[in-house]
Amino acid sequence: MEPRRKLISPILVSLFGATVGGALWHSDAMAQVPPGRLLASQCSQCHGTDGRGPGFAEIAGKNKYGDLRDMAHRRVEGVMDRQARGYTDEQLRLLSEYLATTPESGGGN
Ligand code: HEC
């Protein structure tokens, strides 16, 4: 019994350390990422990276929350109405706030 117990406790200690260390690293990394960024990454398929084009209308550097919320709640007519419906109002607010902080392309597309 004794030798086995001696072997198990270092394993438990290192598992605990890895878990806590991982959690700390994780929260540190998350703190540096704006909350809407991951949500807004979906938009890049059609609006370019950070909404800067090339693609459909440029959405970088502007807060389009009001428009997006309208799109999400009105009768579906176009592509964007369907896109906006995929998010809660809170998610639309977060991703709009993120996109508002991104630099515009300067009219290149
Ligand atoms: C499948 C393609 C597609 C995706 C994905 C997409 N959009 Fe769009 N979006 C469009 C199209 C098409 C238009 C209409 C563009 C036009 O005709 O000017 C548009 C228009 C818009 C407009 C209106 C722009 C303006 O100034 O009139 C906004 C705002 C917008 N999109 C935001 C978003 C956001 C935010 C996301 C991510 C949540 C997103 N879009 C994802 C295709 C897409």
Residue in the block written with tokens 């997006």: 68
Contact 109, 50 (CB under 8 A): no
Residues 7 and 55 in one domain: no
N residues, the chain: 109
Residues 45 and 16 in one domain: no
Residues 64 and 75 in one domain: yes
Contact 109, 46 (CB under 8 A): no
- The range of the structural domain enclosing residue 11 comes to 1-32
Residues 86 and 42 in one domain: yes
Q: List the chain pLDDT tens, one digit each, 109 residues.
A: 566 667 666 655 565 556 655 565 566 665 678 989 999 999 999 999 999 999 999 999 999 999 999 999 999 999 999 999 999 999 999 999 999 999 999 865 4
Residues 28 and 40 in one domain: no
Residues 27 and 55 in one domain: no
**pLDDT given at position 32:** 79
Which atom of ligand 1 is least distant from the CA of 95? 35
Residues with CB under 6 A from ligand 1: 42-43, 45-47, 56-57, 59, 64, 67-68, 79-80, 83, 95
Q: What is the pTM of this model?
A: 0.77
Residues 41 and 60 in one domain: yes
